[in-house]
Structures are given as structure tokens and as C-alpha cells.
Structure 1
Amino acid sequence: MSSDPAKVPVSGTKDGDFRLSNATLHRLPDQIRRPAYDRSRVTPGIVHLGIGAFHRAHQAVVIDDLLAGGATDWGIVGASLRSPETHDALAPQDGLYTLAVRSGAGTNHRIVGSVLATEVAKEKPGQLVARLANPATRIVSLTVTEKGYCHTPQTGDLDESHPDIVHDLQNPGTPRSAVGFLVAALARRRIAGAAPFTVLSCDNLSANGHTVGRIVTQFAALRSRNLAKWIEAEVAFPSTMVDRIVPETTEADRAAVSSALGMTDAWPVVTEPFTQWIVEDRFPAGRPDFAAAGVQLVSDVTPFEHMKLRLLNASHSALAYLGYLAGFETIAAAMTDERFAAFALQVMQDAAPTLAMPEGTDLAAYSASLLQRFSNPALHHRTWQIAMDGSQKLPQRLLATMQDRLRLGLPIDTHSLAVAGWMRYVTGTDEQGRTIDVRDPLAAKLKAIAESTGPVAERLAPALLEVEPIFGVLGADPRLRSAVTGALTKLYALGARQAVQTFQAA
């Protein structure tokens, strides 16, 4: 990846001198869809924290549709908390970028114009706080990933010892964390007598709205008890369920998109045709007409959130860890092996009894659609990408189902093998003895445990199960310890491919 996406060289374009921007929209080929509205008349009403590929493939597209329908005051200002890459790529493009929707039938290209400006939080934190505190900002949405909330995934509480939280308490005017920015801006609005914005988390957290509300209130209480009481009473934190598969954009993706456009787009987004967004309808400060863009507004998103976490995300993680160990670079490649496809389906089927869905929900049909989506040959969704930050993902994706199945007296063999895959993966060495680039907030701790126990399942599994931020009290359950240790023993003895095969045979 180029260190300066704004200057990334793109081959195959018709004219390398042209860069996607407001000024060059008219040069696009006729078949390329572009914003069907006057962007100069749009004003921002949403600030989005964590403006990565996922947001630009999903929420920003919904807002783009609504702007095309006549809305003018719901434009987006996107903020990156750490990396300047997105800002550096999109600023020369006036915030414009290409959405490339890929399927076996081909690729459809669309220019999205809902992002009006971008900021880099760490470069000008005070400027972002002011933007959030501006009464024109009525919604602050987030896709900062699970680790971006500085919390303990097993409990859902704020991690008061997190370095960013410690910094933000000492430097409230120049925060680093998403939580710190939210509270700094809300405190300013409270002092000014301005109404608070709505906080809209779109991340894969269990009960994401309730969880983020708790984390924000806990952080605020460390600053001021009265501020915490005001936030608890006045700020809305609706929960959401967001579903769209968005692989990491590659150099080849940029080249292909730029070739189709006839000009350079340094930061396109690649995704699948399927998209779904379910949102609890609690927006005291107002909201766009989400329903007009296909968003499903509900009073309680919990069952849909559990469905996605325990069917889609759980099977995705299982395929990621075991598939990576088996040598599959992508999810689609793993799905070409019928043993792995069957295992992914079994993860979903084992999760189904733990779900309480509204009447009429067809879990079998949803599972079948997931298998089809995972098999999309046009999406290069790397197992390594999905395997990132497993310590933050396991509690809601796999462990919650295991806990419920144990409560119901049901076996947990399927999910135990998936957890064993994670354990084998985080040792940092694959089945061929090659180093794995483990990206995880607890990577150093997990590696130290693996080095102290060695590759011996009877020592490694119990040691990892004692990592309280991941497993909590569940890690002490003898039924879970036995099942996971047995699965890891099989994984070490047979390798991922054979372990999955014997699992199916059993």
C-alpha cells in the first residue's frame, strides 16, 4: 500500500492525469452512476468516527441515496481516529470515492458523494471536538471496531486502565479515544445548553447501543458525576445491526476501479450486492428518513443482532482461523472445500437454538444465503483480515453461544473447534512453521502464554482459557475446558483440514 494514497500510481487508466473529484465527474463514462444531487447544497448533520471501508460501503451509501431523494442537511463529515490514509486519499477527491459491487455476474461501479469532508482526529483533536459540539451535528455514528471502545469484551464495561482512557481523563480537551471524543463534545454541549446528539454505533458489539451507552456513561462519571447523570438521562444510544461483507481494498482493486473510471480513484471500496441495516428508532435530535433508503426501523434490534453475530460473524471467524491454518487465503477459497462449507453451516445450526427471533424469521434461509455470500468468487476477503482482533470478537461471536448451549445442556463441540482454531492461530506459528502476523490488542500477552506452555494442547488451552478479559468466568467451566482442550489436541494432531473432516465424519 502506498504511504500516500493521494499519489498512488494507477495503471490501466485512460488518462493518468485525471483524478476523481467534483471537477472531473463529467468525464466519467456514461455507465458509471454518480451523485444525483447538487453536493454544494448539502450541509453536514452526521459526524462519523472511524471512516474506513465498512462505513463507506454501507452507511454512507444509505445517506447518498437519501441525498439523491432530496435531503440536504444530512451530509457526513468523516473522522479517522488514527491513520491519515483515508483523509489523504479523499481530500483531493472532494470526498468522492467509488463503490464497486462485485458478484459472479460482474462489477457495478457507483460514485458516492455523501462524505463532504474528512478529518484526522489525532492531528487536530480540538477541531473534531468542536465539530461534534456544533448543534448542527445531530448524529455521531461509529465504526471503530470492537477494540476502539476501550472496553473489556467479556463484561462490556470500560477498561479504566486502557492507555487512551488514562490519557483522555488527563487531557479532556485533546482526546484520543472515540469515547473521549464523545464525552468531550457532550460536556461542551451540556455547558452551552445545547441538545445532545444521538450516538449510533454500527460495530459488532453485543447490544451495541446499550454497551456504548454504558461505556460512555462510565467514562463521563470519572470526569463528573453530574455529567454522567445528564448523559444517562438525555443521550440516546440506539442499537443497530449492520450486514455487508467488505474486504480490504487492494492495489489491484484500485487499478481495476481506476481503469473502469478512466481516471484515478485512490481509495475505492469493494463489496458484495447484499446489504442490510436494522436500527432502533430512537433519535431525539432527529434523523434522516432511513426507511426511504431501505433501512429497517424497529423497537428492539437485539434478536437481529444476535442472529448476525452468532450465524454470520461466528461462522466467518471459524472459517478464518481454521481456513487460514489450512492454507486458504480467502473465505471464498475455503468455501470451495465442502468440508469447510459444511463446518460453517454446522456453526450456524448449533447457534440457532440459542436465538429467539420474531415470528416468521427463516433462519435456515438466512444461513443458506450466508453460505452463498461466503462463496462469492469476486470478493477477495482474506482469512487473515477476519482473524484480526480475535480477543475482542470471540465473546460475542462464539463464547455467548457456547454459554447458552451449556445452559441448555447441549454439546459445544463445533464451537470448541473454532475456539481451538483461534488458540492455534494466536501462537503466531502456522502448521508449516511459518510466522503468523497476529494483529490483536492482546497479541503480546497471548504470545507469551504460548511460549510458556509450548505447542501442547493440555497446557496451552487451559492457560488461554484463564485470560479473563476474553473468557471471564466461562473459562473456568470444566465442560468448556474439556471440550476446547480436546478440540485443540485434535487440531495439533491432525491439522486443520483433517480435524474439520473428522469432525464432519463424527
Structure 2
Amino acid sequence: MAEQLSRRLFPDLPASPERVIQFGAGNFMRAFVDWQLQQMNRQGLFQGSAIVVQPTRNGQAEAINKQDGLFTVLQNGIYQGQTVDSREIVATVSRVVNPYTQFEDFLALAENDALEFITSNTTEAGIAYDASDRAGDAPPLSFPGKLTALLFRRYALGKTGFVIIPCELVDRNGEQLKRIVQRYAREWRLGDGFMKWLDEENTFCCSLVDRIVPGYPRSKAEELGNGLGYKDELMVTSEPYLLWVIEGPDWLAEKLPLDRAGLNVVFTGDMTPYRERKVHLLNGPHTAMVPLGRLAGLETVEEVMRDECFSRFVRELMEREISPMLDLPLPEVLAYGEDIRERFRNPFIRHELASISLNSIAKFKTRLLPILSKYRHKNGTLPPLLTLSFAGLLLSYRGDRIPRQDLPEVAAAFDEAWSRPETFAENILKNKSLWGEDLTRIPDLVPAITEHIRELERAGSREALQQLV
């Protein structure tokens, strides 16, 4: 039986100084941020590693520490006309700190002057204010609360601040994160000096990330392990393509030379056009296909794209309902959409719909709700495919057909709304805590959702789609 991956197996792998604090160690961050750190290190441009902070009570700290922070990134796909099939052991995670059991160790990170950068990916639901967080909590529950505690300790030590680059798919993520930290600072009465230090000594950057990361190759894990010669419980598959757009000051590209390492990283003063194109045209169709695909028994993105009915749904959703709503030249957007559908059809990676479904309500709010609202305002009618997908999402959150993966308070809101099926649509759509607004004010939405749910229950998602595409 193969031995588990560790530095004992590979003693010659480099160990770089800790320069990055990383909130979150999920598949995406390991195959995106940590992999890119390694590419810079290999070229002598950075020489730094990330210390990971576990953002939730249940995480992967034990598994990552057991492998000494090592894991394998498997890149599979077609990139620039060439087939890519590579394996690389990534050695840029030094260790994981669990603030729920090691809170003082977490705060002690503020003492290390070599730590200059903070990155994060706590999903769209992570950059949020939690009224239950209090000064002195060990730790605060929310990611911004934990970050505030860490920054205050850094300030109290009289040290310089950080460059903070969140990767959550939230509009203006850096600005939103900073506002929440400032709110905690005011409510916790941390003082005017800290507020000034926050603003003057720290750089909160907005960023946009793009890389399809299906994650752990469960169906091929044993075969891959035999080929690698070691057991890796953290191996992660990704497509070769990546894009990281970072909005920040001019000096940042020199301090974090990702682009000089040949990576597709854009430093810019305005990331808005990049964000709209990517969030709505790549992440949006991902979120839209999940409920209808899973209700039809499909399991992966590739299965969706190989299915005639569902692939037509994805294409028409992108071309007829999403693309015309973007403030970009339509030919450019349509060409980008075709590139995305080619990435969706990647036969080398198994991107499970179940993994995309995590926190789908927050994802729909960010990725697709603006499109639905704009389409209704512009055309006087609801977008038919997007509205059907929305109904499928709401039906799937009843929890009896498809396992839902979301925050407890989100599940509780749906349980409450579904307890009165006859008024479910109205009750759930007017829940401002879920959507940030009362969606019953969108004309025709309540009856349309109600009728679509009936149709999905009667005929299933495939027949419902066939009537529209």
C-alpha cells in the first residue's frame, strides 16, 4: 500500500518563509493561489509560502497538517490548442491554524513582520456581517470578524498593515470586506487610532478569479495514487486556464510579481468589465445548470454539455438572456461565451454539480439575480430560462429531492417557507435576508415561480426545458 504524501517522502522539496495568510484551504485556493505562489517561487520571484487559517469550525486543518501542507495539483484539459495533462506537488502551504482550537496561535500571526499578504476564499456567504460577533470572542464566527481581531492585534503591536486580496466572487469584494471590518471596529469601540491605521496602513484590493477546479478526483483516486506512487487525500484537479484580475495600486505588481512569472494575472485600476463578463457568463451558467441538471439525474458539467437538451439550455441562456444584459460589445461577449462552453465540455475533468451547489442561494443572488432584474426591466417580461432555473433552485432547497449544502439559517428559512406550500413562492421571495431585497416586487415573478415549480414537480426538469428550448 502506497505511503501517504509527506515531506518525509520528498525531503528535497523547498520550504519557503511564510509571507501569506490565507483564509480557506479548499480545493480552489490550493489549485489557484497556492499553485501560483509555487510558480513564482520556482522562478525566484517571490520565495514565500502561505499559512492557512481555517475559517469554519469544521475544516481540513488536520488533513493538511498530516501531509505537511503538501498536495498534488492535476491539470487536465486543452489550453491554447495543446492537451495538458500534468501533475505537480505543491509545497507552498506551510501549516494550518485552526482559530477555534488555537486562537492565540492565530492572533500570534500578527507578530510576524514577514507576513505581508492576506488572501481568502470563504465562498460568497463568507464576506458578511454577523451581529453575534463581539469583541473578545475567541474566535468571532465570521471571516471579517476574525480578520478584524487579527488586524487589531497587528495594530496594537505597532506594525505595518497588510495587502488584503479576497478571492470570493462578491462584487467589489475588497471594498465590502473593508466596510465590514470598519463596522466591527466601530461597534467594538477599537478606537480612532485603529480606524486610521486600517485606512492608511492596509491595502484592500478588489479581485476576480477564474479557474474551474473540480476538486478531488474521487472516481480515479486509487488509479492516480498508484501512478503517483503515494497516497494523497488532498489531490485536486483543475483546468489549465486561469485568470486573476487584481484592482490595486501601481506598486502591487512589483511586490507580487505574478504576471512576471508568466501567469495570466491582470493588475488594473478598474476590474469592472472583467468581473461582469466572468461572473455572469461563467459562474452564472454554472449556478443555473445545477438545479435543473440534478433534478434530471445529471451529475457533472460535462454530462450537462453532452446532453442535447441541456447544452442547448446553457447556450440559449448565455446568448439570449445573459449576454444582451452586459454592458460590453455583444460580439466580444458571445465569443467569450463560446470559449466558456468549450471549457465546460472539458472531457479530462469531472466537475460535479454537487460541488458547485454549495451556498447556491448566495451564488444566485450574486451571479444571476441582477440579470433577471435587468432583463425584466428592459424587456417587460421575465427571462424564461433563467426563471425556470430559479424555480428549480427553490424547489431543490425543499431538501427532499436533492441534498442542500448551505448555511443553517438559509436552510431554516426554506423549511419555514415550505411549511406553507400554498404560499411558498411569495414567502421565500420576500425574504430580504436571503436576497437583499423583496423579490415579490418584481412583476410577474411570484406566479411564474409558482407555475414553474408545479411544472417541475409534474413533468420534471427535462420536459419543462424542452418546452422552452
Asked if these proteins are the same fold (TM beyond 0.5), I'd say yes
Question: Which of the residues 411, 414, 430 maps onto 1:446?
Answer: 414
Percent identity, please.
26
1:8 corresponds to: none
Q: Is the 8 A contact 2:162 2:201 kept in 1?
A: no
Instruction: Give ranges in structure 1 of 5+ residues lacking alignment.
Output: 1-14, 27-34, 152-157, 161-165, 431-435
Equivalent-residue separation in structure 2 for 1:128 and 1:329 (angstroms): 38
Q: Is the 8 A contact 1:126 1:174 kept in 2?
A: no
1:106 shift after superposition: 7.2
Q: Is the 8 A contact 1:147 1:392 kept in 2?
A: yes
1:319 shift after superposition: 0.8
1:65 shift after superposition: 0.4
> Residues 179 and 19 (structure 1 numbering): CA distance in 2 closer, same or farther, change over 3 Å?
same
2:7 corresponds to: 22
> Residues 129 and 257 (structure 1 numbering): CA distance in 2 closer, same or farther, change over 3 Å?
farther
Quote the RMSD (CA, aligned, Å). Answer: 2.5
Equivalent-residue separation in structure 1 for 2:111 and 2:390 (angstroms): 42
**Range 478-487 or range 52-61, more displaced:** 478-487
1:462 shift after superposition: 1.7
Post-superposition Cα deviations, 1:181-240, rounded to whole Å, max 9, x if no partner, equal 211121122223221112211011122112212222222221125234542444322111
Map residues 57-136 of structure 1 onto 2, 5 A cutoff: 57-82=31-56, 86-103=60-77, 107-136=85-114
1:296 corresponds to: 266
What amino acid is aligned across from residue 205 of structure 2 in structure 1?
Answer: P
Post-superposition Cα deviations, 1:374-423, rounded to whole Å, max 9, x if no partner, equal 22233222222222212211211111111222332353222211111111
1:464 corresponds to 2:417: no
Equivalent-residue separation in structure 2 for 1:258 and 1:239 (angstroms): 38
SS of 2:69's partner is coil
1:375 corresponds to 2:349: no
Map residues 263-342 of structure 1 onto 2, 5 A cutoff: 263-282=230-249, 287-293=255-261, 294=263, 295-342=265-312
What amino acid is aligned across from residue 36 of structure 2 in structure 1?
Answer: V
Equivalent-residue separation in structure 2 for 1:201 and 1:361 (angstroms): 31
Equivalent-residue separation in structure 1 for 2:346 and 2:115 (angstroms): 38
Give me the TM-score of the superposition, normalised by structure 1: 0.83
Equivalent-residue separation in structure 1 for 2:412 and 2:441 (angstroms): 22
Post-superposition Cα deviations, 1:11-49, rounded to whole Å, max 9, x if no partner, equal xxxx52x332334238xxxxxxxx9xx624x21111100
Equivalent-residue separation in structure 1 for 2:157 and 2:17 (angstroms): 22
Post-superposition Cα deviations, 1:338-393, rounded to whole Å, max 9, x if no partner, equal 22111112222222233234x79821122112212222233222222222212211
What amino acid is aligned across from residue 461 of structure 1 in structure 2?
Answer: A
1:155 corresponds to: none
Q: Is the 8 A contact 2:37 2:46 kept in 1?
A: no
1:324 shift after superposition: 0.5
SS of 1:209's partner is helix
> Residues 463 and 474 (structure 1 numbering): CA distance in 2 closer, same or farther, change over 3 Å?
closer
Q: Is the 8 A contact 2:100 2:138 kept in 1?
A: no
The aligned length equals 455
Q: Is the 8 A contact 1:218 1:228 kept in 2?
A: no
1:204 corresponds to: 169
Question: Which of the residues 381, 393, 403 maps onto 1:437?
Answer: 403
1:444 shift after superposition: 2.0
Question: Which of the residues 23, 35, 57 maps onto 1:49?
Answer: 23
SS of 2:119's partner is strand
1:170 shift after superposition: 4.4
